[in-house]
């Protein structure tokens, strides 16, 4: 069972989570619960670091950020003990989550869960601080924003759990962010393939890595409400999905940035040098556009998007490359957003992209970049028009509650 930040934000909610955990134990299950930091704690810790340092050291950043989830776990353990059960809280390191050394974005390499197993054998409820681990060089690491989902899935895989329940502040995975589209529909199930595309294109309800991990290790995810009972969304293999709609969801991101390199020499190795440097700096590059110069020997232009939080690192990484390659200019744009539609049905239906472009044109929204996969179409647009774009596409593809469009091709 994993509880997100909003679901443990205050004393009452911690007690409510404690009661739900205890109810599962009393139903005869052995329970490992992963908790996130309370409410906006992680954001506040990041702001505290920014107050003392313009470029906080990433190792120290992890020491700082990992404290948020420890607080939640210790408090919840106290609440569970008061309900007459025996709980023990563990840090990620104590729980045996071993990661690589890439601070603030570490990847889980191994889960050595013997301490959890011992505690379960002693009839304890185990609470694990999410979003963190210990690196192969024995430093505390964190797993990137939303990383508690991945802690939960990794533990579920290591413990061979029946299910990994992700308790959050919405009832499951919806056809669009229900905060932007009030009539968005809750999806009873969604395939790993679609959920991966959704998470990658901004639906932060499940962290991308948690979905990858679940698919690779065969973990059953049930994403559901922490504030009420009732089923949420199951993430399942494509062969097990009951519905095959053309389009499953509209997703969005409003926190992207774009970098444009002007005067890039038109020769083999230029792109490799640019994106190699960005990769070494841990920047997650998304949509890339390079236009070939019309005349031979003239310079090319390269644009790409990255998460806004990676912008500083990217600018740093590009500094030496721009000198080496003689790149004329680097422009950055911070107000970049993205809207995407995801659906396994579009694989076999032409015309979906044309309809997306038509809908956005009808709204007077300019598309600045486009990228596609077999089951996703993404458009880079101004971040301020993202909510309008999401609502228009959700309407046009009739994804709202009660109006789900079945595999009948685009209208
Ligand atoms: P938690 O703190 O529980 O981890 P998050 O804030 O990380 O919760 O994720 C839940 C939020 O994800 C919801 O409050 C919702 O606004 C947002 N969200 C974005 N897209 C979707 C979607 N397609 N379905 C459900 N929630 C979504
Ligand atoms: N507390 C971390 C964050 O805010 C991890 C998580 O909530 O999953 O990103
Ligand atoms: Mg989350």
Q: What is the pLDDT of residues 153-199, one digit of tens each?
A: 999 999 999 999 999 999 999 999 999 999 999 999 999 999 999 99
For 49-106, what is each residue's pLDDT tens digit? 999 998 899 999 999 999 999 999 999 999 999 999 999 999 999 999 999 999 999 9
Question: What is the 8-class DSSP label of residue 5?
Answer: S
Residue nearest to atom 8 of ligand 2 (CA): 146
Residue nearest to atom 6 of ligand 1 (CA): 205
- Ordered by where they begin, the domains of the chain are 2-242 (3.40.1160.10)
Work out the burial of residue 281: count CB atoms within 10 Å of its CB; fewer than 13 is exposed, 13-18 middle, 19 or more buried. Answer: middle
pLDDT at 227 over 90: yes
Please identify every residue whose CB atom is under 5 Å from ligand 3, which is an ion: 4, 146
Looking from the CA of residue 148, the nearest atom of ligand 1 is 4
Give the distance (Å) from ligand 2 centre to CA of residue 139. 19
Name the average pLDDT for the chain.
94
To test the pocket of ligand 2, the residue of 64, 69, 73 to mutate (highest count of ligand atoms within 8 Å of its CB) is 69
To test the pocket of ligand 2, the residue of 145, 155, 226 to mutate (highest count of ligand atoms within 8 Å of its CB) is 145
- CA 297 from centre of chain: 41
Give the distance (Å) from ligand 1 centre to CA of residue 187. 13
Relative to the alpha carbon of 7, which ligand is closest?
Answer: 1
What pTM, to 2 d.p., does this model score?
A: 0.94
Nearest residue to 273 (alpha-carbon basis) of 295, 294, 302: 302
Residue nearest to atom 1 of ligand 2 (CA): 37
Cα–Cα distance for residue pair 188/186, rounded to 1 Å: 6
Residue nearest to atom 4 of ligand 1 (CA): 4
Write down the pLDDT at residue 402.
Answer: 62
Among the listed ranges 180-194, 225-239, 292-306, 394-408, which one has the minimum average pLDDT value?
394-408
Q: Residues near 342 by Cβ (< 8 Å), separated by ≥ 6?
A: 194, 197, 198, 201, 247, 248, 249, 250, 251, 375, 376
Average pLDDT over residues 140-145: 97
Give the distance (Å) from ligand 1 centre to CA of residue 157. 23
To test the pocket of ligand 1, the residue of 16, 176, 177, 225 to mutate (highest count of ligand atoms within 8 Å of its CB) is 177
Write down the pLDDT at residue 214.
Answer: 98
To test the pocket of ligand 1, the residue of 168, 184, 194 to mutate (highest count of ligand atoms within 8 Å of its CB) is 168
Question: What is the 8-class DSSP label of residue 139?
Answer: -
Q: Parallel, antiparallel, or unpaired for β 87-90 and 125-129? A: parallel
pLDDT at 411 over 60: no
**Residues of the chain with pLDDT > 70: what percent?**
97
Q: CB neighbours (10 Å) of residue 344?
A: 23
Relative to the alpha carbon of 4, which ligand is closest?
Answer: 1
Give the distance (Å) from ligand 1 centre to CA of residue 170. 7
Relative to the alpha carbon of 34, which ligand is closest?
Answer: 2
Confidence of residue 405 (pLDDT cuts 50, 70, 90): very low
Give the distance (Å) from ligand 2 centre to CA of residue 43. 9
Write down the pLDDT at residue 150.
Answer: 98
Write down the pLDDT at residue 287.
Answer: 93
Average pLDDT over residues 207-220: 97
Give the distance (Å) from ligand 2 centre to CA of residue 30. 25
Task: Output the ligand 2 site: residues, CB below 6 A.
Answer: 4-5, 36-37, 42, 68, 130-131, 145-149
Write down the pLDDT at residue 407.
Answer: 40
For 24-51, what is each residue's pLDDT tens digit? 999 999 999 999 999 999 999 999 999 9
More confident residue, 11 or 239: 11
Average pLDDT over residues 382-410: 80
Relative to the alpha carbon of 180, which ligand is closest?
Answer: 1
3 lines ligand 1 (CB under 6 A): no
Beta bridge partners of 235: 190, 221
Looking from the CA of residue 179, the nearest atom of ligand 1 is 16
């Amino acid at each position: 069972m994993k509880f997100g930040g909003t679901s443990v934000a205050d004393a009452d909610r911690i007690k409510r989570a404690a009661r739900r955990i205890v109810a599962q134990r009393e139903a005869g299950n052995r329970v490992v619960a992963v908790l996130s930091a309370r409410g906006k704690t992680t954001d506040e810790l990041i702001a505290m670091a920014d107050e003392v340092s313009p470029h906080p050291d990433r190792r120290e950043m992890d020491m700082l950020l990992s404290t948020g989830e420890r607080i939640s776990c210790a408090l919840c353990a106290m609440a569970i003990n008061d309900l007459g059960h025996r709980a023990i809280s563990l840090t990620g390191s104590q729980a045996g989550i071993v990661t690589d050394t890439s601070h603030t974005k570490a990847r889980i390499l191994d889960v050595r869960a013997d301490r959890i197993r011992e505690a379960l054998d002693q009839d304890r409820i185990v609470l694990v601080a999410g979003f963190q681990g210990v690196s192969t060089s024995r430093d505390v690491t964190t797993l990137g924003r939303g990383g508690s989902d991945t802690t939960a899935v990794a533990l579920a895989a290591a413990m061979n759990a029946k299910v990994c329940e992700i308790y959050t502040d919405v009832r499951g995975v919806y056809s669009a962010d229900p905060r932007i589209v009030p009539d968005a529909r809750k999806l009873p199930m969604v395939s790993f393939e679609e959920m991966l595309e959704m998470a990658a294109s901004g639906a932060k309800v499940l962290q991308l890595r948690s979905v990858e991990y679940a698919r690779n290790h065969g973990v059953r995810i049930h994403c559901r409400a922490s504030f009420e009972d009732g089923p949420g969304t199951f993430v399942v293999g494509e062969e097990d999905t009951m519905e095959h709609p053309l389009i499953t969801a509209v997703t969005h991101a409003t926190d992207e940035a774009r970098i444009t390199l002007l005067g890039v020499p038109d020769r083999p190795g230029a792109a490799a040098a640019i994106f190699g440097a960005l990769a070494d700096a841990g920047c997650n590059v998304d949509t890339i556009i390079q236009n070939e110069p019309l005349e031979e020997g003239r310079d090319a232009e390269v644009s790409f998007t990255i998460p806004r939080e990676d912008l500083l690192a990217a600018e740093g990484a590009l500094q030496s490359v721009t000198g080496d390659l003689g790149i004329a200019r680097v422009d950055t744009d911070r107000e970049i957003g993205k809207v995407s539609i995801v659906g396994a049905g579009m694989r076999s239906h032409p015309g979906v992209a044309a309809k997306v472009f038509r809908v956005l044109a009808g709204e007077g929204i300019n598309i600045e970049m486009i990228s596609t996969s077999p089951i996703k179409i993404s458009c880079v647009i101004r971040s301020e028009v993202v909510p309008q774009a999401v609502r228009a596409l959700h309407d046009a593809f009739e994804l709202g509650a009660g109006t789900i469009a079945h595999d009948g091709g685009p209208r």
